[in-house]
Structure 1
Amino acid sequence: MRADTLIVIAKEPVAGRVKTRLQTEFTPAEAAALARASLADTLAAVHSTPVHRRVLALDGQAGNWLPADFEVVQQRGDGLAERLACAFEDAYAGTPMLLVGMDTPQVTRELLDVDWDGHDAVLGLTEDGGFWCLGLPRPDRRALVGVPMSTEHTGADQLARLRLLGYDVLLLPMLRDMDTPEDAAVLAELFPTLRMSRLHQRLQHAAPPGLLFEKALNGTQVVATGIDGRRVPSLCEIDRWQAPADEVDQLALSRCEGPVLDVGCGPGRIVTALAERGIPALGVDISAEAVLLTTNRGAPALRRPVQEPLPGEGRWGSVLLMDGNIGIGGAPELLLRRCAELVRPDGLVLVEVDPDDDLDDTAPIVLHTGSRRSKPLPWARVGTRAVLRHALAVDLLATEDWRTPHRAFLAFRRSPATVSQVAYR
């Protein structure tokens, strides 16, 4: 006896709705793409299996990932156990059925075309305690409803239920679900020809830089290199970012005139230190995690790129580019021009530069964690001489240059000629 109907139970691979446990390493869109690839691999294995009917029990809408020879039925029922029972009922055509999920892309035609002779049911367990397939000769709600789903013992409970009902169960080989980043990495290594595996390989080398930056904010070790692989010092110094403002930071902040705009505020130590001094300040950052960390410290922050419209344009007393944030975007001259637009006519632009006065490197950087590396990120690492040159081009005049043993700073104000032109207009 073999299954004459194969059922795939699946959820439409929509970002934020599927594979949320993958989002510790991948964006919601990337997690959904991996889910879609896993589903496509599963559907391909089912498509290659010689059966009369192929049914997709779907939560959501079908997309171009669905082969033409599948019937689609909408999932119904409350809870996974009831949805599985309903899928068997909706697909039944008088012959044995085998149901599989979308999370085992390594499933093969040989596993699906199993001979049941001498058995009443088929069950395939997974390494995490669940099950990847269930075969029944006919629908039987008693076999499923009431079995606890999504636990470490779901597979064992399902087997016990079948045996309690008198089923002689054939156990198939145990498979690994793709639920976590570790699962995805293991499956990609063991089964490199799968769609999921090829996508996983591409994603490993093309992470959004913002994702890895947010991982750094949450304590993951992130290393910055040039595109040539050479390590870039002084970036991703999360220990210093997370700590309260130190003596050098405080020395820089003593120059500030309120209100202050901190560009690229990160986890908010500078904005917090300014608030403690009684100086009104706002942090801006493109990272949602950075803004959350800043606001959790009780300091105000806004998620927005510096080049987009910001509150108080032309009225800020000081604009800060701390921690090498002069490198944002890889174009220091454009960034300084934008800072000059943001400060009031007598305002201050305070820039932390690289301690190497001669450094002028505008090549992109790449962020790395233990498992992923980012797409190239436009960035600049510039010392005093380059920053002075860029500032002069946008009519910012240096008013102070000071340094400590490991950090260097420049202060600028708008040139009188530029201020006069603005006032005249």
Structure 2
Amino acid sequence: MTGGTLIVLAKEPVPGRVKTRLQSEFTAVEAAALARASLVDTLSTVRRAPAARRVVVLEGDPGSWLPTGFEVVGQRGGGLDERLAGAFEDVYDGTPMLLVGMDTPQLRAELLGFRWAGYDAVLGLTEDGGYWCLGLLKPDRRALLGVPMSTDHTGRDQLRRLLALGLRVRMLPTLRDMDTPRDAAWLAAEFPGLRVSRLHRRLQHAAHPGALFEQALGGTARVVATGIDGRAVPSLSELDRWSAPADEVDRLALSRCEGPVLDIGCGPGRIVTALAERGIAALGVDVSPRAVSLTTSRGAAALHRPVQDPLPGEGRWGSVLLMDGNIGIGGAPGVLLRRCAELVRPDGLVLVEVDPDDELDEAAPIVLHSTTGRRSTPLPWARVGTHALIRHAHHTNLHPIEDWRTPHRAFLTLRRTS
């Protein structure tokens, strides 16, 4: 390619618009950061490869990720086949052109340094059935328009089209695209020196806890909680129960509620749904957008908001619930109890699911672990038993009125008094 043009077909790495398939495990911001790193790796390789011109055909706006030595041309056309055809037409200067994407950051410069002698086109396939590069001596819309894109047979179809036009095609080695979390993990393991690989390793061990909780609720992976020391936290390792309908113990707890009811940390909404089915006005609040979505999809009411923020009906709730160990939210049970006292009416109830160990009073961060290999940053949390919770309640105007339990779960009901 010494006398030709190298083209990089790229999309500005904006969260929510790139690498959406990575979002089954990563947040939109993290997926965009991986896309940006992949693009930088690709541009770095193209910059080292022999060529007369280097052009980025871009959807979006260039940013600090764009190195010197590249021209920028905007993409045009609707489907990918039209945008590819337009890229070749807009860049053509009478010399051969080789176009690559931004999804194979492991690309080596020597792969791009071949000689065109005896060939009219170049094609490099990917393991998922697509292709990572396409080269043409000159633009020809017939070579691209109508070829099905983003399928598991796009590469084969593209090769058939080139051959049907009578073109002599040089095949380059098959590479693996970075499209899915599994692809990203493979890339990081096989090519650890890449920028995208280094970022992947950082993200694997510093995930936002909310991202892993969203992943668990979405069913893409199982998530467990441990202390910093690696010991499991039982009350946070029962997502299957959280996602199931309210069970007998849940219903027993709800029979003590006085409406309307506020469920703090409602998760996927089993409690709020059960209350609604009983005809009791109830609202769930959660910091997880997916949890709120799952709750509302069940026909119950939920709000995406942390408990510390202003909430509807402050001082007028009949009951406030802290089920499933949610007394641990924030790592300060006394602070959370005082907030609950602000939310209930003057004679309202606060029902807390506590640890079965009456004396447990532990404020220690937890770490979430995903079966996909991700680990969260520490999350402030607390675990308290009945006796410890009563001690915390001494500093509020909440007073215990009932301590009850089942073989595996324990609860404490408190009433606000003047």
TM-score by length of 2: 0.97
Q: Counterparts in 2 of 1:300-379, with a 5 A limit?
A: 300-371=301-372, 372-379=374-381
Counterpart in the other structure of 1:423: none
Shift of 1:275: 2.0
Residues of 1 paired with 2:149 and 2:251: CA distance? Answer: 55
Deviations 1:275-307 (A, max 9, x none): 222221111111111112212222111111111
Residues of 1 paired with 2:166 and 2:217: CA distance? Answer: 55
Q: Is residue 50–residue 112 contact of structure 2 (8 Å, CA) maintained in 1? A: no
Partner secondary structure for residue 349 of structure 2? strand
Shift of 1:50: 2.2
Residues of 1 paired with 2:280 and 2:218: CA distance? Answer: 28
Greater mean alpha carbon deviation, residues 389-398 or residues 123-132? 389-398
Partner secondary structure for residue 196 of structure 1? helix
Structure 2 counterpart of 1:55, one-letter code: V
Residues of 2 paired with 1:94 and 1:10: CA distance? Answer: 23
Structure 2 counterpart of 1:126, one-letter code: T
Partner secondary structure for residue 411 of structure 1? strand
Greater mean alpha carbon deviation, residues 383-392 or residues 17-26? 383-392
Residues of 1 paired with 2:214 and 2:136: CA distance? Answer: 47
Partner secondary structure for residue 234 of structure 1? helix
Deviations 1:329-386 (A, max 9, x none): 1111111110000001111111111001121221111111112111111111111222
Counterpart in the other structure of 1:392: 394
Structure 1 counterpart of 2:211, one-letter code: L
Structure 2 counterpart of 1:381, one-letter code: R
Deviations 1:143-176 (A, max 9, x none): 1122221111111111111111121111000000
Counterpart in the other structure of 1:13: 13
| Sequence identity percentage | 75
The answer to whether structure 1 residue 224 and structure 2 residue 225 are counterparts is yes
Q: Is residue 94–residue 138 contact of structure 1 (8 Å, CA) maintained in 2? A: yes
Counterpart in the other structure of 1:147: 147
Counterpart in the other structure of 1:92: 92
Deviations 1:177-229 (A, max 9, x none): 11111111111111111111111111111122112112222343211111222
Residues of 2 paired with 1:240 and 1:401: CA distance? Answer: 23
Counterpart in the other structure of 1:401: 403
Residues of 2 paired with 1:407 and 1:150: CA distance? Answer: 50
Residues of 2 paired with 1:351 and 1:303: CA distance? Answer: 21
Partner secondary structure for residue 234 of structure 2? coil
Shift of 1:78: 2.2
Shift of 1:395: 2.7
Shift of 1:25: 0.9
Partner secondary structure for residue 10 of structure 1? strand
Deviations 1:53-76 (A, max 9, x none): 110000000010000110000011
- Structure 2 unaligned segments of length 5 or more: list them: none
The answer to whether structure 1 residue 179 and structure 2 residue 159 are counterparts is no
Residues of 1 paired with 2:348 and 2:116: CA distance? Answer: 81
Shift of 1:268: 1.3
- Structure 1 unaligned segments of length 5 or more: list them: 420-425
Q: Is residue 206–residue 373 contact of structure 1 (8 Å, CA) maintained in 2? A: yes
Partner secondary structure for residue 385 of structure 1? helix
Q: 1:413 aligns with which of 400, 406, 415?
A: 415
Query: Using a 3 Å threshold, how does the CA distance of structure 1 residues 68 and 148 change in structure 2: closer, same or farther?
Result: same
Structure 1 counterpart of 2:366, one-letter code: I
TM-score by length of 1: 0.95
Shift of 1:131: 0.8
Structure 2 counterpart of 1:328, one-letter code: I
Counterpart in the other structure of 1:48: 48
Deviations 1:28-56 (A, max 9, x none): 11111111111000000001112221100
Greater mean alpha carbon deviation, residues 191-200 or residues 275-284? 275-284
Deviations 1:74-127 (A, max 9, x none): 011221111111111211222111110011001111011112222222111111
Counterpart in the other structure of 2:281: 280
Structure 2 counterpart of 1:345, one-letter code: P
Residues of 2 paired with 1:153 and 1:409: CA distance? Answer: 57
Structure 1 counterpart of 2:171, one-letter code: L
Residues of 2 paired with 1:23 and 1:286: CA distance? Answer: 18
Deviations 1:222-250 (A, max 9, x none): 11111222222221312221222222222
Q: Is residue 123–residue 172 contact of structure 1 (8 Å, CA) maintained in 2? A: yes
Greater mean alpha carbon deviation, residues 246-255 or residues 315-324? 246-255
Residues of 1 paired with 2:169 and 2:273: CA distance? Answer: 63
Residues of 2 paired with 1:129 and 1:48: CA distance? Answer: 28
Greater mean alpha carbon deviation, residues 77-86 or residues 65-74? 77-86
Greater mean alpha carbon deviation, residues 203-212 or residues 100-109? 203-212
Q: Root-mean-square deviation (CA), in Å? A: 1.3
Residues of 2 paired with 1:273 and 1:149: CA distance? Answer: 46
Structure 2 counterpart of 1:31, one-letter code: A
The answer to whether structure 1 residue 34 and structure 2 residue 9 are counterparts is no
Runs of 4+ residues over 6 Å off in structure 1: none
Residues of 2 paired with 1:100 and 1:366: CA distance? Answer: 40
Q: Is residue 227–residue 364 contact of structure 1 (8 Å, CA) maintained in 2? A: yes
Q: Counterparts in 2 of 1:165-204, with a 5 A limit?
A: 165-204=165-204
Residues of 2 paired with 1:265 and 1:105: CA distance? Answer: 41
Q: Is residue 2–residue 50 contact of structure 2 (8 Å, CA) maintained in 1? A: no
Structure 2 counterpart of 1:229, one-letter code: G
Structure 2 counterpart of 1:136, one-letter code: L
Partner secondary structure for residue 29 of structure 2? helix
Partner secondary structure for residue 399 of structure 2? strand
Counterpart in the other structure of 1:294: 295
Shift of 1:403: 1.4
Counterpart in the other structure of 2:77: 77
